[in-house]
Amino acid sequence: MSAATTSGPHRSRPGAADRSGPGGVGRRDLLKLLAATPLAAQWAAAPGAAASPSGAVSRPVSAPGIVKPLPPGLFTVRGTNAETDVAAFAGTGRLTPADRFFVRNHTSTPRLGESQWKLTVWGSGLRGGPVEFTYGQLRSLPSVTRTAFLECAGNGRAYYDSQQGQPVTGTPWTLGAIGVARWRGVRLADVLRRAGIDDRAVDVMPRGLDDEFVAGGVGMGRPRRPMPVAKAMDDVILAYEMNGEPLPYDHGFPVRVVAPSWVGIASIKWLGDIEVSATPLSSPWTTRYYRLFGDAYPPEGSAPLTRQTIKSLFECAPGTAFEAGRIHRLTGRSWSAAAAVRRVEVSTDGGAHWRPAKLRDTLHRDSWVRWSADWRPRREGPAELLARATDAAGNTQPVTSVHNAQGYLFDAVVRHRVTVR
Ligand SMILES: Nc1nc2c(c(=O)[nH]1)N[C@H]1C(S)=C(S)[C@@H](COP(=O)(O)O)O[C@H]1N2
Ligand SMILES: [Mo]
């Protein structure tokens, strides 16, 4: 069965893959560029790669599986992932440009072409058999555009250890595993309806086309994670554009899921198929990962994570030096998955005194608010900057986060260490 009855003709032109790739870089040029420079040389030659005394590169400025450039100053590479440096948000608008948007890859970015791509929707929750959509068919469905943040559930994880003395497992993100983008695509609900979703459907599981993820020698299959049908039919988008451009390879080209306000893992990249099931589904990403385990939780862990939490960041690198006696404009951003942030307070003396920050954006759900506060430091020496957000639902960032073994959903006020000289 094909979806051709419900959508327009296949619009991909032959040779489309050789035209301009996502992000405007000609694919041929990109391949030439990559072929001309061996990976090792790219690492060693990159400016800012700190050489250890033995001459080895101690901090990689390139991640093996990420296609886009990761210039030092914009990104910190963490294994297969790249974290946006908080200072790199300064001067950007509400939207995070794709060239500084964090990348979280379980393995590596596959370079797919849109002309061969198709989406298969299948499973016991459909009235009939599997239904396929080509890229052209998907593009011809009614489109929606919406601004939403995308954030890793582990964003802020490093502070469980550095601020609360509680070790956790996983990528030690500071606060840069977040970005806000304007996504354009089709409603998942529209695709599921065209595929013949049945009233008995309970779970919907998108799966990526990237390689199988292997952890500790155990194969987990390709990244996939079920969501309840209520979420799937609500606000989830199958996106093909990010900030007005085709999705970049690293962010899911040609099509990714965007599940607003939910943990990043719900937004499956490089979408290949969607299982629609009349019985509950699970995957390692709902059983092993993305649940809360630890003293505060039952032995099998919490329920699978859904929404993100509330956070704030200062747009300056940790350790930044501020001159005493002068006025400095501190800038930052706060966001919450539950409701728009409506108040931000700042402390420049380690939390003894607080004052309101000036909000620079109108309030929007699923986005962040930019803010600023002026500061004239007097005494030289170490200082701690704190920002505390409150959202329209009444949630405020706490002093400490409740520990969980994998360090998800850090929401406490971060003590941002800087110096005055
Ligand atoms: N297919 C696939 N989808 C994926 C992932 C992945 O590794 N493979 N990582 C997930 C996680 S954990 C996060 S936080 C987001 C990150 O999206 P980004 O890399 O576009 O910022 O993608 C999610 N979708
Ligand atoms: Mo994530």
CATH of the domain at 270: 3.90.420.10
* 8 Å CB contact between 411 and 312: no
What is residue 257's predicted lDDT score, i.e. its pLDDT? 99
254 preceded by a cis bond (ω within 30 of 0): yes
My answer on whether 202 and 61 are in the same domain is yes
Q: Is residue 299 part of a domain?
A: no
- Centre of ligand 1 from the C-alpha of residue 282, in Å: 18
* Beta-carbon contacts of residue 12 (< 8 Å; ≥ 6 apart): 114, 115, 134, 135, 136
Shared domain for 364 and 243, answered yes or no, is no
Q: Are 155 and 410 in contact (CB under 8 A)?
A: yes
pLDDT of residue 61: 63
- Who lines ligand 1 at CB under 6 A? 101-106, 150, 152, 208, 210, 223, 251, 264-265, 267-270
Same domain, 356 and 260: no
State whether 274 and 350 are in the same domain: no
Q: Which of 96, 106, 111 to mutate to test the pocket of ligand 1 (most atoms within 8 A of CB)?
A: 106
Nearest Cα neighbor of 279 from 228, 236, 231, 233 is 228
As a whole number of angstroms, the distance between CA 267 and CA 349 comes to: 38
What is the structure's pLDDT at 64? 84
C-alpha 223 – ligand 1 centre gap (Å) = 8
pLDDT tens digits in sequence order for the chain, 421 residues long? 333 333 332 323 223 333 333 433 333 333 333 333 333 333 332 333 333 333 344 455 678 899 999 999 999 999 999 999 999 999 999 999 999 999 999 999 999 999 999 999 999 999 999 999 999 999 999 999 999 999 999 999 999 999 999 999 999 999 999 999 999 999 999 999 999 999 999 999 999 999 999 999 999 999 999 999 999 999 999 999 999 999 999 999 999 999 999 999 999 999 999 999 999 999 999 999 999 999 999 999 999 999 999 999 999 999 999 999 999 999 999 999 999 999 999 999 999 999 999 999 998 889 999 999 999 999 999 999 999 999 999 999 999 999 999 999 999 999 999 999 9
Which ligand has its closest atom nearest to the C-alpha of 408?
Answer: 2
**pLDDT at res. 24:** 36
Nearest CA to ligand 1 atom 20: 251
- Inter-CA distances, 16 with 160, 249, 302, Å: 47, 15, 46
pLDDT value for 155: 98
Say what the pLDDT of residue 42 is. 30
Residue ranges of the alpha helices (H) in 236-330? 284-287
Report the separation in Å between the CA atom of 268 and the middle of ligand 1, taken as the mean of its atom positions: 6
Q: What is the pLDDT of residue 59?
A: 54
Q: Determine the distance separating the centroid of ligand 1 and the alpha carbon of 226, expressed in angstroms.
A: 14
Number of domains in the chain: 2
Give the position, in ligand 1's atom list, of the atom nearest the Cα of 207: 1
The CATH number linked to 372 is 2.60.40.650
pLDDT of residue 140: 98
CA-210 nearest atom, ligand 1: 1
pLDDT at residue number 29: 37
Residues 19 and 78 both lie in one domain = yes
Neighbours of 127 (CB within 10 A): 11
Q: Is residue 105 in a domain?
A: yes
| Alpha carbon of 216 to ligand 1 centroid (Å) | 20
Q: Is 304 part of any domain?
A: no
Assigned domain for 2 exists: no
Would you put residue 335 in left (φ > 0), alpha (ψ -120 to 50) or beta?
beta
The confidence score (pLDDT) of residue 62 equals 75
Domain interval for residue 401: 310-420
Ligand 1 atom with the smallest distance to the CA of 151 is 14
Q: Is residue 125 situated within a structural domain?
A: yes
